[in-house]
Structure 1
Amino acid sequence: MERKALNSLGYMELIAFFIFVLFLVGVYFDVTWLQVAMAVCFIGPVAGILRYPRRCKSTGEPFVKARFAWSFITLFLYLGMAFGLLQVF
């Protein structure tokens, strides 16, 4: 069985991490437009991760609760770290 839903969840995690790193670059070099662009672009991976349960139903794959929970938690960790960095700088 193809694991399309789980693979898409993994891609969303990678995209969220890449966007977070670009946000950090914007904070470090004080590039405001990059910070704003990455904050807006972060909506995409969040939406992708939140669609994971529905995608499992549509493809007939089993729902992996632990993986979904980990993805959801890391999104809040990224947001918390970004908020903390903005308060420092």
Structure 2
Amino acid sequence: MCRNITTLRGLQPAATTEEIEAAARQYVRKVSGVQSLSDATREPFEAAVAQIAEITAHLLEHLPERRQPPATVPPLRRPEVRARIAARELKKA
């Protein structure tokens, strides 16, 4: 897990639902200390991710435009991260 959540406000194109959910998931992992889900943690963890993603989307929609885009590119927009995710998905299949 990354140590910092990437700034989503001001991205061009705007942050996607997938990017917002990834940031919410990272936040919930960090504050809860839950790194792998069990039957006992799955439901509250996923509910928290959904709620935080919804709140984050609402926040991003209502904040004024940024004058400059964020200094860093979100992980899901980086080719090496996309390649890692694709490789992981192939292993699952």
TM-score, normalised via structure 1 length: 0.39
Question: Between Structure 1 and Structure 2, which shows a larger proportion of helix residues?
Answer: 1
TM-score, normalised via structure 2 length: 0.38
